[in-house]
Chains A and B, each alone.
Chain A
Amino acid sequence: EAQVTQNPRYLITVTGKKLTVTCSQNMNHEYMSWYRQDPGLGLRQIYYSMNVEVTDKGDVPEGYKVSRKEKRNFPLILESPSPNQTSLYFCASSLMASGELFFGEGSRLTVL
């Protein structure tokens, strides 16, 4: 089944404790992206990747890192999480940047 898989789905952590949210897709998609969703703000793009070893900042990259060492994986790294990073995070992929995006189920992160 074609899918985008994110883990963990739910996480409560404390300020400053590094964490990684993994994202994997099995559709051989070139393009992958991370979004955060906050009430009243819609979806805001954090980082995206057009292909392996190519990543670019989105609208809200501060406090986040990503890597794209393999085509299928695009982890989101929070080196030192802060409470303002409490949010619902979505990973998405598509065949090309302008095409239909396939979304993961989301990862709800709470930073205390």
Chain B
Amino acid sequence: AQSVTQLGSHVSVSEGALVLLRCNYSSSVPPYLFWYVQYPNQGLQLLLKYTTGATLVKGINGFEAEFKKSETSFHLTKPSAHMSDAAEYFCADSGNTPLVFGKGTRLSVIA
């Protein structure tokens, strides 16, 4: 069955440090990959998505992700963390509909 694995349920970084949140997918068909962010007491909102074309995808708030087919990965990065980035992040794949979500990674940013 299709699955999405997010390595690390909780990641902590210092303000200004690199953010790296890991995501691996398993679908055998070409994936449509998404990263969503959930701020406290809010619903999920789209950060970025990969469908076809350029493998480096830029999203909102300075985040980007790179689709690597050989590694079945879609890791999320941001060069410099800001306090406002503290949230829960979900990776999702809809290579086989409907969308399948990873379990989420909580990002903490330390001043």
Contact B43 A42 (CB under 8 A): no
* Interface residues contributed by chain A, number (CB under 8 Å): 22
* Partner pick for B104 among A31, A42, A101, CB 8 A cutoff: A42
- Whether the pair B99, A101 counts as a contact (CB closer than 8 A) is yes
Contact check: which of B32, B90, B98 meets A42 at CB < 8 Å?
A: B90
Residues of A within 8 A of B32 (CB): 98-99
Residues 72-103 of B, flagged 1 when their CB comes within 8 A of A and 0 if not, give: 00000000000000000010101001110111
Q: Is A104's CB under 8 angstroms from B101's CB?
A: no
Question: Which of chain B's residues have a CB closer than 8 A to the CB of A74?
Answer: none
The answer to whether A97 and B46 have CB atoms under 8 Å apart is: no
Contact string against B for A residues 85-104, beta-carbon threshold 8 Å, 1 for contact and 0 otherwise: 00000101000011111011
Which residues of B have CB within 8 Å of A40?
Answer: 9, 103
Residue A75 CB within 8 A of the other chain: no
- Which residue on chain A has the smallest CB distance to residue B49? A100
With contact pairs A104-B43, A105-B43, A106-B43 given, residues A42 and B49 touching in the complex (Cβ less than 8 Å): no
Q: How many residues of B contact A (CB 8 A)?
A: 21
Looking at the complex, which one of A33, A104, A106 makes contact with B98 (CB distance below 8 Å)? A33
Within 8 A of B (CB), among A56-112: 58, 90, 92, 97-101, 103-106
By the criterion CB–CB under 8 Å, are A43 and B90 in contact?
yes
CA–CA, A33 and B49, complex, Å: 19
Taking the closest CB of chain A, its distance from the CB of B35, in whole angstroms, is 11
Chain B residue with the shortest CB-CB distance to A97: B97
Which residues on A are within 8 Å of B, measured CB to CB?
4, 31, 33, 35, 40-43, 45, 48, 58, 90, 92, 97-101, 103-106
A-B contact pairs, 17 of them (CB 8 A): A31-B98, A42-B102, A43-B90, A43-B101, A45-B98, A45-B99, A90-B44, A92-B44, A97-B97, A98-B94, A98-B97, A98-B99, A101-B46, A101-B92, A103-B36, A103-B43, A103-B44
- Apart from A97-B99, A101-B99, 13 more pairs, CB < 8 Å: A35-B101, A43-B101, A45-B99, A48-B98, A58-B98, A97-B97, A98-B97, A100-B46, A100-B49, A101-B36, A103-B36, A106-B41, A106-B42
